[in-house]
């Protein structure tokens, strides 16, 4: 008996050693397994103290932990300083910050990657979906009111027969949606409270019209389309918190209004923008970006804009290839925006390709300067082999490459058939090459075939020289099995210079 008490006391002491900060468990290698034994469902954030994204997530993460704790839930949130606990980070394949993994049932193996938004409600909803029924059974009005009050968006299925085919389709839909809570009810008082006369699906939200009622034949596909069209506000502001919802959603066509929120006519512009948005729900996402915010300047730059030019409108498609469009009129009115979006939907708009003016001394130096207006003439000159670096002025890897690229230009400056060039892809765009990361290196061999060859080899003078002297046949691929140096990604889902990767090399847009 004494031995048993000692074992219990030691176990209690071990559990007590797991410290908490603002309701979040602080885990280390020494207490990680103990935490999984004590708490069957744990969401763990692997973070770095210097990571800007981690700092932005922290208050929402703590809020979510407090919400679950207040409910008496057995789900806990925890964090690991991956810079201190490098063994744990390595064990769970942490390559970027924050990395968030869900450990279910006390199991250490095969944790699930967290895949929803970074606001407290998103985190709680995702966790509840992973640990409970896809749709909560609502037995009375209070439960129904609670799920609506506690969430920005909630979907409730009203079915007199919860075993009906429509009800089963509703449950399948709930299982497919991670970031929105679902409820289901057959209770007459709940039907009456929300003035629902027959079986129906209603999306409740704390913005715009407040609720949307599904009208159509119930199926998983039709319900998902209904939710997709109504779960976001008609107009949504781009922030670090909303970015996952904006870029993680199914709507890949986005119209952006760059406008300073401090401007006197801000509300008027917003009213016009919102009025235009009403006719394109589910087709085009309407987003406004505060052009005065420092973190948003990279996005302005991506569209070739300066904040002094705002307010302006642009449209972008984020399909396999990003394509940008510019309205003919700069006047922001609902009529002009509707006309612009209608032309886009009907497929009659031509993409907007940025270009700087051709510099007078573009060919003065060994490395030639290309812009959109002279690219075709130079790169596809059938008499020349042309090697082009597509760069961004802010790109760290481009800055490292610059002296080597200058040496390459100097080496081949007297070769009449080889041209070494560069193009600022933040200010110039061309049809032939879609740039997704910096630096991007492309070779345009001589001839009339308009070939484009990717260069993925060593970024050294010797590597480049071997590649050019072989006519683009040798040295263009990665050496052996070694990983190529990571490029600076050009991603629109991040508004600030990114520090989310453990490895150097991600200045994201």
DSSP-derived letter for residue 92 is T
310 is an active site residue: no
> What tokens appear for 84 in the block?
């201190």
Between CA 134 and CA 335 the distance in angstroms is 42
Q: Which of 108, 112, 113 is nearest to 98 (CA)?
A: 113
Of the candidates 8, 310, 341, 395, the residue annotated as catalytic is 395
Q: Which of 69, 76, 77 is nearest to 46 (CA)?
A: 77
Of the candidates 8, 310, 341, 398, the residue annotated as catalytic is 398
341 is an active site residue: no
SS3 letters for 255-294? EEEEECCCCCCHHHHHHHHHHHHHHHCCCCEEEEEECCCH
Between CA 423 and CA 495 the distance in angstroms is 23
Of the candidates 8, 51, 310, 341, the residue annotated as catalytic is 51
> How does DSSP assign 29-84, residue by residue?
TTTHHHHHHH-SEEEEEEE-TT-HHHHHHHHHHHHHHHHHHHHT-SEEEEEEETTT
Cβ contacts of 497 within 8 Å, gap of 6 or more: 298, 394, 507, 508
Between CA 321 and CA 440 the distance in angstroms is 15
Neighbours of 82 (CB within 10 A): 25
> What tokens appear for 197 in the block?
């006369």
Separation in Å, CA 251 to CA 226, 282, 284, 339, 437: 12, 7, 6, 20, 23
Between CA 219 and CA 166 the distance in angstroms is 7
Q: Which of 379, 368, 390, 372 is nearest to 446 (CA)?
A: 379
Q: Measured on CA atoms in the order 491, 57, 83, 36, is the torsion positive or negative?
A: negative
Between CA 147 and CA 174 the distance in angstroms is 14
Of the candidates 8, 54, 310, 341, the residue annotated as catalytic is 54
Could you give the angle at the alpha carbon of 490 between the alpha carbons of 486 and 494, nearest 5°? Answer: 110
Between CA 139 and CA 291 the distance in angstroms is 47
DSSP-derived letter for residue 499 is -
> What tokens appear for 423 in the block?
């193009």
- Give me the active site residues, please: 51, 54, 395, 398
């Amino acid at each position: 008996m004494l031995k048993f008490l000692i074992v219990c006391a030691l176990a209690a002491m071990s559990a007590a050693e797991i410290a908490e900060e603002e309701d979040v468990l602080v885990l280390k290698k020494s207490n990680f397994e103990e935490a999984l034994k004590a708490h069957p469902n744990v969401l763990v954030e692997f973070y770095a103290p210097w990571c800007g994204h981690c700092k932005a997530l922290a208050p929402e993460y703590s809020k979510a932990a407090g919400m679950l704790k207040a409910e008496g839930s057995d789900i806990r949130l925890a964090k690991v300083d991956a810079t201190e606990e490098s063994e744990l980070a390595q064990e769970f394949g942490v390559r970027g910050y924050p990395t968030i993994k869900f450990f279910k049932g006390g199991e250490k193996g095969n944790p699930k990657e967290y895949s929803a938004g970074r606001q407290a409600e998103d985190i709680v909803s995702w966790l509840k979906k992973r640990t409970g029924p896809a749709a909560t059974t609502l037995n009375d009005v209070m439960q129904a009111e609670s799920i609506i009050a506690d969430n920005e968006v909630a979907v409730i299925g009203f079915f007199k027969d919860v075993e009906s085919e429509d009800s089963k389709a509703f449950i399948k839909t709930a299982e497919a949606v991670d970031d929105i809570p679902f409820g289901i009810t057959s209770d007459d008082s709940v039907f009456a409270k929300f003035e629902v006369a027959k079986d129906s699906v209603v999306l409740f939200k704390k913005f715009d019209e407040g609720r949307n009622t599904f009208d159509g034949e119930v199926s998983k596909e039709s319900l998902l389309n209904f939710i997709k069209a109504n779960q976001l506000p008609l107009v949504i502001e781009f922030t670090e918190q909303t970015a996952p919802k904006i870029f993680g959603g199914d709507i890949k066509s986005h119209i952006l209004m760059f406008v300073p929120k401090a401007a006197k006519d801000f509300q008027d512009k917003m009213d016009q923008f919102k009025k235009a948005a009403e006719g394109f729900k589910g087709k085009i996402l309407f987003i406004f970006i505060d052009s005065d915010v420092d973190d948003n300047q990279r996005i302005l730059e991506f569209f070739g804009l300066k904040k002094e030019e705002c307010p302006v409108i642009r449209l972008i498609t984020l399909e396999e290839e990003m394509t940008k469009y510019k309205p003919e009129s700069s006047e922001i009115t609902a009529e002009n925006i509707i006309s612009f979006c209608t032309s886009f939907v009907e497929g009659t708009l031509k993409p907007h390709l940025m270009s700087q003016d051709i510099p007078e001394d573009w060919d003065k130096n060994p490395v030639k300067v290309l812009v959109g207006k002279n690219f075709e003439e130079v790169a596809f000159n059938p008499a020349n082999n042309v090697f082009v670096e597509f760069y961004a002025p802010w790109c760290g890897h481009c800055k490292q490459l610059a002296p080597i690229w200058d040496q390459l230009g100097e080496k081949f400056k007297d070769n009449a058939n080889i041209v070494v060039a560069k193009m600022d892809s933040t200010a110039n765009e061309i049809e032939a090459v879609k740039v997704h990361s910096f630096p991007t290196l492309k070779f345009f061999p001589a001839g009339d075939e308009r070939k484009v060859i990717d260069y993925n080899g060593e970024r050294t003078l010797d590597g480049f020289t071997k590649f050019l002297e072989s006519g683009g046949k040798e040295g263009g691929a990665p050496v052996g099995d070694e990983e190529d140096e990571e490029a600076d990604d050009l991603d629109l889902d991040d508004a600030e210079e990114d520090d989310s990767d453990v490895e150097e090399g991600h200045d994201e847009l």
